[in-house]
Amino acid sequence: MFQPPITIYHNPACGTSRNVLALIRHAGLEPTVVEYLRTPPSREQLRSIAAATGEPLRALLREKGTPYAELDLGNPKWSDDELLDFIGQHPILLNRPIVITPLGTKLCRPSEEVLEILPVGKLAPFTKSDGEVIEDSGTRRGG
């Protein structure tokens, strides 16, 4: 059976990231899992990911549990190149999970955001690790 290429930039310590990975697998898909804290994406990969989301690079920055505040990254003075340098030095600054599918690239927070880009039909309900049930509307990007 054909398996569309799917990649998740994943942090196994993050509950949202674990739920997104489980939701992808619930859809019958097996993604390429990139544990970005162990294998950080290159500058060009980061630039490409940000462009593919349609969001500014700054939208991919994570504030909670990172050196965001101490580095003053909320300051608009930082260019994209400088932000890429910071992410390269501190991969934890990259928000997660980011998922890439044939339907698009998306920062999937909250976890049900991944449904929009899964290249499958409507899924049966999915129960997240906290017990919340996600009902899939079946609506996909471009569909």
Catalytic residues: 14
Quote the CA–CA distance of 16 and 67 in Å, as a whole number: 20
Structure tokens at 84: 């890429």
* Calculated CA dihedral for residues 30, 113, 45, 3, nearest 10 degrees: 20
- The enclosing H or E element of 85 equals helix 80-89
DSSP result, 102-114: TTEEEE-SSGGGG
Both tokens of 25, joined, read 């697998």
Please say whether the beta carbons of 51 and 143 come within 8 A: no
